[in-house]
Amino acid sequence: MFNSVIIGALFSLIFGTLSHTYVQGALFGLVYGVIGWVLSPMNLKPLLLGMGLQFAAAFTPPMLMSLLGHLAYGLITGLVHVGYSSR
């Protein structure tokens, strides 16, 4: 949960001033999800575990499911951000 709070706060810092409508929030959220997918399961986690970069495995079923999860998280984060910032 703590990681999700930090990642959501980073979204607000990076894309907060750019996303004013729900469409913008959704699009920037999806972009943020892709950025998170590239950074986390293909770069940071393997390097911390002593493995190499995992770009060769980008289109394997587990990585595609991870992409789907990151896209869903980014989409929800972007929409929630717009919902709370419009109040």
* Other CB atoms within 10 A of residue 6 CB: 10
* pLDDT exceeds cutoff 80 at 64: yes
Model confidence pLDDT, tens digit, residues 1-60 = 888 899 989 999 999 889 999 999 999 999 999 999 999 988 988 999 999 888 899 999
Q: What is the pLDDT of residue 54?
A: 87
- In contact, 30 and 71? CB cutoff 8 Å: yes
The alpha helices in 40-60, defined as continuous H runs, are: 45-48
Q: Token pair of 52, please? A: 């190499």
**For the chain, domain boundaries:** 2-85
Mean pLDDT value across residues 63-81 = 96
Q: What is the pLDDT of residue 87?
A: 73
Gap between the Cα atoms of 40 and 63, Å rounded: 11
- pTM score of the predicted model: 0.88
